[in-house]
A = this chain, B = another copy of it.
Amino acid sequence: MIKVVSKHYVKENKIQEFVENAARMVEATRKEEGCISYGLFQDDNDPKILTFIEEWESKEALEKHKTTEHFTNIVPILKKLDEKPGELNIYNQVL
């Protein structure tokens, strides 16, 4: 199982727009083969921090995800709404 944490720092006035675009991404991604879970989370202290937390059956499933139409269309839109570059961590479970 692969866990992905993709953290975005969104412009203060673009949060709603970010969530609307993310909703299209979430809906399409959850239908993908190998997607165990895929959600969007907002930091309790800073609403500008919006993070995708994802679980994938394999690296191959995650790589395939990056070639999908929804990924290639929506991710550039989300990045334009960011205040500064985000952080992407791809994790393996240790414990």
Binding site for B on A (CB under 8 A): 2-3, 5, 7, 19, 22-23, 26, 39-45, 49-51, 53, 89-95
A40–B90 contact, CB under 8 A?
Answer: no
- Further pairs besides A42-B91, A44-B90: 19, Cβ < 8 Å: A2-B44, A3-B53, A5-B5, A5-B51, A5-B53, A19-B94, A19-B95, A22-B94, A26-B95, A40-B93, A40-B94, A41-B92, A41-B94, A42-B92, A43-B89, A43-B90, A45-B90, A49-B89, A53-B53
Chain A interface, DSSP helix/strand/loop, else mixed: strand
A51–B95 contact, CB under 8 A?
Answer: no
CB distance from A17 to the nearest CB of B (A): 13
